[in-house]
Structure 1
Amino acid sequence: MASTALPHPSASSIEWAFPGFTAPPGLAVASSPLGDATAGRALAEALGCPYLGVVKPARVTGYELLLFGDEHGLALQVTGKGAPGPVRAEFATGKAGYRLEHGGGTGQLVARAVGLRKTRHPLHVLDATAGLGQDAFVLAGLGCRMTLFERSPVVYALLADGLARGCLSELVAPVLARMTLMPGSSIEWLQQAGANAADVIYLDPMFPHRDKAALVKKEMQVFRPVVGDDDDAPQLLQAALAVATYRVVVKRPRKAPAIAGPEPATRIEGKSSRYDIYPLRALPQ
């Protein structure tokens, strides 16, 4: 599918960005009393799922997940009592806002993996699996020009909403101006892009979850029913290696195997995750 760049699209742009999408049967759209009901109805129509009106997620039955609009924006919310809290893309507040003001600069693991300690050249980084855009936001805050791909319409809606809200912040807006969101499959785009499509290509595919006893982050608990596993990660890595200029970086759980394909030349490990690095040529000095 050909993709058109959307700087910070509204969630209702999903209808044309993801033609033919079929929503999971357990997903609905709803609002709080302070949410935007008009936007909620448009989103439900675009996704082809029910709009439940104004509800309290803890009291909803018959649907496992809600795209829920309230005064804080759009969130993905598990229904029922005792469910995990809402998950949303947030850039001006929370962890992302704190990291922007007080983060570790190029000493952060993702920045080291991309190579920002080795070059002062402004890099174009393609985030092929954008998710909620947190790593892309860190890199944009350090001066990288970011292109973000997201192929899940549900996650895309959350990210588009977070970008639009973040642009209202004087501190955050200049950083988000370096982030461009694209809908659809990054694999298809990369296979047609040709050489030097981006200086660095960054991958963070959903890791297959096979240990039922393992504890995973709240975001992954909520996302997995609508996103599933990225079983085509080997194809994505192959496509990225074919068109990246300097390197491909893959984020993995710390103890997970590398993606099937060539072995990474080096790794940078953190407490819970690591970055597998596939260098293609030296970064510009």
Structure 2
Amino acid sequence: MSDARPSLPRTAPDATAVAVARTALGDARAARELAQTLGLADLGTVQPSAVTQVPLLLLFDEVGLGLQVTGEGRYADRASGRAKGKPPGKGALPGPVRAEFVSGRMGYRREHGGGAGQLVARAVGLHKTKAPLTVVDATAGLGQDAFVLAGLGCQVTLLERNPLVHAVLADGLARAALNAECADTIARMTLVPRGSSIDWLRSQAPGSVDVVYLDPMFPHRDKSARVKKEMAVFRQVVGDDDDAVALLEAALAAARYRVVVKRPRKAPAIEGPEPATRLEGKSSRYDLYPLRALPPA
């Protein structure tokens, strides 16, 4: 997906591009605190389709926190800033993107997933060892792959440097921890305070982490591509990970057994050492960089 508008900074959100708000049933106190923490405007109670000040909201509703496009975000011309199509406030907007582990796609996957036979689990090596592995998900995003791995017994450390995504992920983990069916899995997931994954990995002793998992945002330029709602919002918020080479280098230094990199199926590998092997799915693949054999038990 191509978007003429620049992505938000990774270290601090752009106050002209995002604000905090809530629906009538959203948590007003949490909204005020998050706005203060991130240095963003708190718009109070809003109807997202009528918001024209910013294209994106950190929106608290009756479920929790999500990233919500606004009327401006849907109808503004990215290149010129002129409104086009329907005016703001007309028509339904897509719902918020949130970190959801209890219901929806992740809830179904939790109940009906393929266990250690899932592609991400095989990439990490869970079909080869019964030993509990420590995994660092250095590009955690909405935490979906980390949740799968934690559900299979891994202790997962999550790193996410984008402040908006980090806030949404923290909210999703907190809500899931209150659910009896998810609590044990969430207890194996630790979200590190926001910061650079590269710096965090470089601060670890060599070989101190069993597996490092990376899913850096790949520069995708196909204007005609139809992408999922989550990916469209992520490209708006995060942009491309132009430092993937340094991230892979830091991951290889910190990992004990292997580094796993998720890529679009036809994308080139990250520049640097060639992966030893690949596992391919329908739309994505996993590049494997083994460092030593996994423990048998």
Task: Give the one of 137, 144, 168 matched to 1:134.
Answer: 144
Instruction: Tell me how far apart the structure 1 counterparts of residues 249 and 263 of structure 2 sit (CA, whole Å).
Output: 16
Corresponding residue of 2:112: 102
Corresponding residue of 2:221: 210
Instruction: Tell me how far apart the structure 2 counterparts of residues 199 and 153 of structure 1 sit (CA, whole Å).
Output: 27
Task: Give the one of 31, 34, 39 matched to 2:25.
Answer: 34
- In the TM superposition, structure 1's runs of 4+ consecutive aligned residues that sit over 2 Å from their partners are 20-24, 81-85
Alignment of 1:1-285 (within 5 A): 21-80=12-71, 81-182=91-192, 183-285=194-296
Secondary structure of 1:175's match?
Answer: helix
State the 1:216 CA deviation: 2.0
CA RMSD of aligned residues (A): 1.4
Q: Per-residue displacement from partner, 1:153-177 (whole Å, max 9, x unpaired)? A: 1000000000000011011001000
Contact 1:23 1:48 in 2 (8 A): no
State the 1:97 CA deviation: 1.4
Instruction: Tell me how far apart the structure 2 counterparts of residues 251 and 46 of structure 1 sit (CA, whole Å).
Output: 32
Instruction: Tell me how far apart the structure 1 counterparts of residues 135 and 37 of structure 2 sit (CA, whole Å).
Output: 30
Contact 2:13 2:163 in 1 (8 A): no
Q: Per-residue displacement from partner, 1:93-124 (whole Å, max 9, x unpaired)? A: 11111111111001100000000000001000
Where structure 1 has 5 or more consecutive residues not aligned to the other structure, the ranges are: 1-19
Contact 1:74 1:161 in 2 (8 A): yes
Secondary structure of 2:287's match?
Answer: strand
Where structure 2 has 5 or more consecutive residues not aligned to the other structure, the ranges are: 1-10, 72-90
Contact 1:24 1:226 in 2 (8 A): no
How many pairs does the alignment contain? 267
Calculate the TM-score normalised by the size of structure 1. 0.91
State the 1:89 CA deviation: 0.3
Secondary structure of 1:282's match?
Answer: coil
Instruction: Tell me how far apart the structure 2 counterparts of residues 110 and 89 of structure 1 sit (CA, whole Å).
Output: 19
Calculate the TM-score normalised by the size of structure 2. 0.87
Instruction: Tell me how far apart the structure 2 counterparts of residues 71 and 235 of structure 1 sit (CA, whole Å).
Output: 40
